[in-house]
């Protein structure tokens, strides 16, 4: 063990616009001497974090994402993935304080806007210095590290054999349910487009670990999806919005090419079942009176997802990239958006682009922060 290593506990934190992501490194107990060195407070914190999967009212540990056998600064251990709403930072600090965090002299690496916004609160409440890192640097470092440690990390959605990218209508319900998740070998990744769908969206061209730039973004992201679902369908959680969308039908909300043409717009190869105007049917009072919450949630999801898909596709073709990697918590428990993105990428590029996804979705910025204990 490295005697100059910073004191435990080691956390990486990403305090985002909607969710705070916390990655905790649990060191493997190496020998008696080390165990004895661990203070009671540290032991209690470790036990509290690793023996529970819910903390307070809104903190959750994503147990299915836990990574064992990770090495950081020569120490082997386990990574634990925890999240809570950023609106609950105050409650988190109270909890951390009640567990004795304030008595440990500590610096944690943090990113996201909240690392600036809440810096003073961290010092006051738990005596923690936030060492701030850039969120895009952290994001990329996190993606590359997690992918190198987990052979299952990167995957794609394969369409059923009966479907080719040229000839299938985008929203054919039956075809989406037949998409199957398959592992993708990401060991030779460069160059690729990284699309992070959080509250908002950032798109980065990544040429090498330390060679990237932000090409584009959009404010129409995961926050827009959830905000509109709350307004239009009276949702009160992301999970509820996703469940409604999964049960809905957007064609009662969106105006399709066939609603305007009576069929395909053949001259430019636009099929009748493509959306011509998102929410276009909602100009009619009669249709508004009949529309369901499920259909509104579905149309919101399709609108936001396809908009991100078309911007990503334009960026990728402009930059001559073939692989587009999507991450961010908008894709959490949201296979529908992943399949729509997979379909759209391949359909509109005539099969030239491949949509890829990552198992640890929204945690890469926090992992990137944790890696700073390594340097």
Q: Which of 195, 181, 182 is nearest to 143 (CA)?
A: 195
Q: Which of residues 234-253 bind ligand ADP (CB under 6 A)?
A: 238
Regarding 198 and contact with ligand ADP (CB under 6 A), the answer is: yes
Q: How far is CA 148 from CA 69, 284, 337, in A?
A: 12, 52, 26
Min dist. Cβ of residue 328 to ligand ADP (A): 4
- Report the nearest approach of ligand ADP to the CB of residue 86 (Å): 6
Return the residue of 111, 168, 199, 278 that touches ligand ADP, per CB under 6 A. Answer: 199
Write down the catalytic residue from 125, 135, 153, 294. Answer: 135
Nearer to ligand ADP, 41 or 230 (CB): 230
Residue 373 near residue 73 (C-beta atoms within 8 A): yes
Could you give phi then psi for residue 241, rounded to 5 degrees? -60, -40
* C-alpha span between 372 and 26 (Å, rounded): 16
Distance (Å, rounded) from C-alpha 180 to C-alpha 124?
A: 49
Alpha-carbon distance of 222 to 228, in angstroms, equals 10
Helix ranges (H only) for 99-154 are 114-117, 119-126, 135-149
Beta carbon of residue 331, minimum distance to ligand ADP (angstroms, whole number): 8
- The region of 15-23, 30-38, 205-213, 269-277 touching ligand ADP under the rule CB under 6 A is 15-23
Residue of minimal Cβ distance to ligand ADP? 16
Residues 323-362 that bind ligand ADP (CB under 6 A): 328-330, 332, 362
Interface residue with ligand ADP among 12, 59, 223, 309 (CB under 6 A) is 223
Among 5, 6, 17, 335, binds ligand ADP (CB under 6 A): 17
Four-point Cα dihedral 44, 45, 48, 51, nearest 10:
-90
114 scored as a contact of ligand ADP (CB under 6 A): no
Q: Which is nearer to ligand ADP, 15 or 345 (CB)?
A: 15
Residue 176 phi/psi, 5-degree rounding, is -65, -40
In the window 291-330, what residues touch ligand ADP (CB under 6 A)?
328-330
Q: Among 247, 252, 244, which Cα is nearest to 228's?
A: 244
CB burial of residue 252 (10 Å; 0-12, 13-18, 19+): middle
Residue 132 engages ligand ADP in binding (rule: CB under 6 A): no
Of the pair 199, 250, the CB lying nearest ligand ADP is at: 199
CB of 269 to ligand ADP, least distance (A): 33
Stretch that binds ligand ADP, among 41-49, 118-126, 166-174, 220-228 (CB under 6 A): 220-228
Residue 204: its H or E element: strand 201-208
Complex with ligand ADP: residue 102 or 139, whichever CB lies closer: 139
Q: Which residue has the tokens 């004191």?
A: 7
**Pick from 77, 170, 189, 222: which binds ligand ADP (CB under 6 A)?**
222
Interface with ligand ADP (CB under 6 A), residue total 17
- The DSSP secondary-structure symbol of 251 reads G
Member of 9, 12, 16, 170 binding ligand ADP (CB under 6 A): 16
* Among 11-19, 66-74, 90-98, 212-220, the segment contacting ligand ADP (CB under 6 A): 11-19
User: How big is the CA angle at 63 (ends 375 and 197), to the nearest 5 degrees?
Assistant: 70
∠ CA 330-252-250, rounded to 5°: 20
- Whether 135 is a known active-site residue: answer yes
For the annotated catalytic residues, the residue numbers are: 135
Sites of contact with ligand ADP (CB under 6 A)? 16-19, 112, 198-199, 222-223, 225-226, 238, 328-330, 332, 362
């Amino acid at each position: 063990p490295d005697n100059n290593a910073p004191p435990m506990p080691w956390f990486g934190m990403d305090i985002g616009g909607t969710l705070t992501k916390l990655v905790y490194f649990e060191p493997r107990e190496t020998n008696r001497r080390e165990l004895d060195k661990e203070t009671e407070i540290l032991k209690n914190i470790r036990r509290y974090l690793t023996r529970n999967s819910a903390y307070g009212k809104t903190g959750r540990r994503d147990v299915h994402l836990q990574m064992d056998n990770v090495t950081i600064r020569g120490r082997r251990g386990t990574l634990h993935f925890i999240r809570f709403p950023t609106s609950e930072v105050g409650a988190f600090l109270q909890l951390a304080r009640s567990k004795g965090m304030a008595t440990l002299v500590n610096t944690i690496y943090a990113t996201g806007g909240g690392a600036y916004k809440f810096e003073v609160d961290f010092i006051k409440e738990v005596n923690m210095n936030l060492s701030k890192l850039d969120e895009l640097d952290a994001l990329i470092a996190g993606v590359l590290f997690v992918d190198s440690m987990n052979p299952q990390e990167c995957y794609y959605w394969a369409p059923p054999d009966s479907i080719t990218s040229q000839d299938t209508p985008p929203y054919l319900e039956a075809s989406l349910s037949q998409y199957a998740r398959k592992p993708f070998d990401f060991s030779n990744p460069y160059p690729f487009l990284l699309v992070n769908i959080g509250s908002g969206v950032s798109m980065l061209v990544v040429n090498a670990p330390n060679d990237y730039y932000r090409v584009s973004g959009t404010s129409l992201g995961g926050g827009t999806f959830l905000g509109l679902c709350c307004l239009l369908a009276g949702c009160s959680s992301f999970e509820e919005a996703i469940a409604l969308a999964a049960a809905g039908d957007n064609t009662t909300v969106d105006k399709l090419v066939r609603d305007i043409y009576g069929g395909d717009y053949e001259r430019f190869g636009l099929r009748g079942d493509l959306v011509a105007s998102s929410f276009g049917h909602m100009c009619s009072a009669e249709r508004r009176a009949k529309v369901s919450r499920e259909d509104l949630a579905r149309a919101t999801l399709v609108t936001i997802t396809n908009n991100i898909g078309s911007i990503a596709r334009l960026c990728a073709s402009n930059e001559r990239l073939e692989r587009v990697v999507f991450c961010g918590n908008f894709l959490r428990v949201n296979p529908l958006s992943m399949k729509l993105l997979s379909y759209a990428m391949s359909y509109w590029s005539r099969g030239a682009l491949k949509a890829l996804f990552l198992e640890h979705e929204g945690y890469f910025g926090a992992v990137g922060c944790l890696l700073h204990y390594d340097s």
